[in-house]
Structure 1
Amino acid sequence: MPNPYQVNQTISLAHLKTKEVIPNAKDKLKKVRKKLAKIQDTMYAHNKYSVLICLQGMDTGGKDSLIREVFKNFNTRGINVHSFKQPTSQEKEHDFIWRHYLALPERGKFAVFNRTHYENVLVTRVHPAYILSENIPGIDDVSQIDETFYHQRMEHINQFEKHWSDNGMIILKFYLHLSKKEQKNRLLRRIELQEKNWKFSSGDLEERQLWNKYMFCYEDMLNRTSKKDAPWFVIPADDKDSCRLIVAETILETLERYTDIQEPELDEKTLSQLEEYKQLLRSEDEHKL
């Protein structure tokens, strides 16, 4: 059955819901994340696939808390979370995908990108002057950065992700679809609640003024970069509990389709001697331990 949140045809964000309330979402999530943790253990032992989870969305979309709640039962040795900020001076000396490539998950492991390589066709598209700091040959002025530039960059991302997928990486990308009204409520809470003041930045309000431009960029990006082997899912984000559950269920449903992911079997010699090893351990005198 097709996932109703997956972008598999041209979508309009304005026509997609931002809120879905699932009864008992918290309790359901507890069950799902236990199953995910079990699959994680099996994948770690299997050591052939890796999983990349990409999270994108407007400020206050709930990415941090989603990571905390969905992956709470994971063994920390098998998952890494990367939150990409503005590129460092060293990172700017390389192509735009370089720093993301370094953070890709090893075989048997998960990686979560909290903001991703797609910032390079979202934030930079809203603020094209950022591109100038990359020192790209032939681009010396903002006027030289047009739609073709960003569409070509998206195609480069598609090619990279195809390469990753062909080499055993399972890629799932989630856009947390928040309404402008709900963002306003969450920003107000950050101001009104002292314990949340640290989350607030005046820059959030400046970016909020560019909401429509961001929506245009997100919509174009989703339509151009959702592919069979690296799909985007547009998740209603106004209700955090339901949003987390939908993301967790989507990850679980995807991984359960990989029926070849199994714990490795012991070699025949070791398997035939298990009873002997067991008796040897049981026969040890306690004073020798």
Structure 2
Amino acid sequence: MNNYLVKSSIQLKKTETKEVIDKAKKELKKIRKEISKLQDTMYAEGKHAVLICLQGMDTSGKDSLIREVFKDVNARGVVVHSFKVPTERELKHDYLWRHYIALPERGKIGVFNRTHYENVLVTRVHPEYILGEKIPSVKRITDLEDSFYHKRMEEINNFEQHVAANGTIILKFFLNLSKEEQKNRLLRRLRLKEKNWKFSPGDLKERKLWDKYQFCYEELLNKTSKKHAPWYVIPADDKPTARLLVAQIILNTLKQHNFKEPELPAKYKVEIENYKKELELE
């Protein structure tokens, strides 16, 4: 899985967007059952949480990946947050506030479908959005130089370091989609009547900014992939393979933490036979 880990400077133009693994769907079924068992043990232990961050261009498959990878996890054990345009209330706080309050509890898996990285991605492609945050030092778009976003990336690094130090296991996945495959998926949404609802003309406007998005992604991947919060670049042109790769990385990471179920207190353990008899004699 280290093939996908961002551990040195990368160039997205040189990374693969397509990989096909035979029987990926069958293998995923096995892995997600293992993830479910580990989450149950993690919940019982109550010491760790898991934060899964998913980023990718439109149509990269984030929604379906969440559905397929976490299908077997107990409903109480996984919480998904899909971050949209900030609400009026959210804009009254700093940009990380809404993400901080959505962090998973110990014992649970939290999935951020689009994440706090939108604050150095979409806002960098569309700097006018920053003005809505009413930051005292930002009075006009021309105030937003590269240094502003680099500073935010460092703040995000600090945020993740704090969260990780307090027991949250962080895994970040960039679903690396090719421009050609995005075109095919958008056309599919238009051609299939049952998929029409997924299409928005805004998708075409954002597609024209592809190169700008790729530049911003490349920078954030290189500046914010840390040992405590690593980025993995996942080839996303083949959905079954992308789902399997993400699931394998999650499983391998969880296994490394050796979660243990707590033991029954000694005063109860010695009474187990008596408890059994009491129930059997009812």
TM interval, shorter chain, is over 0.9
Q: 1:210 corresponds to which residue?
A: 209
| Superposition map of 1:1-20 within 5 A | 3-20=2-19
Q: Secondary structure at the match of 2:18?
A: coil
1:265 aligned partner: 263
Match of 1:119?
118
Tell me the equivalent position of 2:278: 280
Give how far 1:279 is off.
1.5
Counterpart in 2 of 1:31? 30
Which residues in structure 2 correspond to 1:37-116 (within 5 Å)? Answer: 37-116=36-115
- Superposition pairs of residues 118-157 of structure 1, within 5 angstroms: 118-157=117-156
Q: 1:10 & 1:25 partners in 2: Cα distance?
A: 29
**Equivalences for residues 183-222 of structure 1 within 5 A:** 183-222=182-221
Tell me how far 1:269 sits from its aligned partner.
1.3
Shift of 1:276: 1.3
Task: Show CA shifts across 1:93-132 (max 9, x none).
Answer: 1100000111000111111000000000000000001101
TM-score computed with the length of structure 2 as normaliser: 0.99
Amino acid at match of 1:205: L
Q: What residue number does 1:287 align with?
A: none
SS of the residue 1:17 aligns to? coil
- 3-state SS of the aligned residue for 2:19? coil
| Equivalent AA in structure 2 for residue 207 of structure 1 | E
AA matched with 2:66: I
Q: Within 2, Cα distance between the matches of 1:282 and 1:249?
A: 44
Distance 1:18 1:138 in 2: 39
Aligned partners of 1:277, 1:88: CA distance in 2, in Å? 53
Counterpart residue number, 2:232: 233
| Distance in 1, Cα, partners of 2:97 & 2:267 | 45
Q: CA RMSD in A?
A: 0.6
Q: Number of aligned pairs? A: 282
4+ runs of 1 displaced by more than 4 Å?
Answer: none
> Secondary structure at the residue paired with 1:104?
coil
In 2, Cα distance between equivalents of 1:23 and 1:221: 32
SS of the residue aligned with 1:251?
Answer: helix
Give the SS at the match of 2:119. Answer: helix
Secondary structure of 1:52's partner? strand
Deviation at 1:275, TM superposition (A): 1.1
| SS class of match (2:204) | helix
2:169 alignment partner in structure 1: 170
Provide structure 2 residue ranges, at least 5 long, that are not aligned to the other structure: none
Cα distance, 1:146 vs structure 2: 0.3
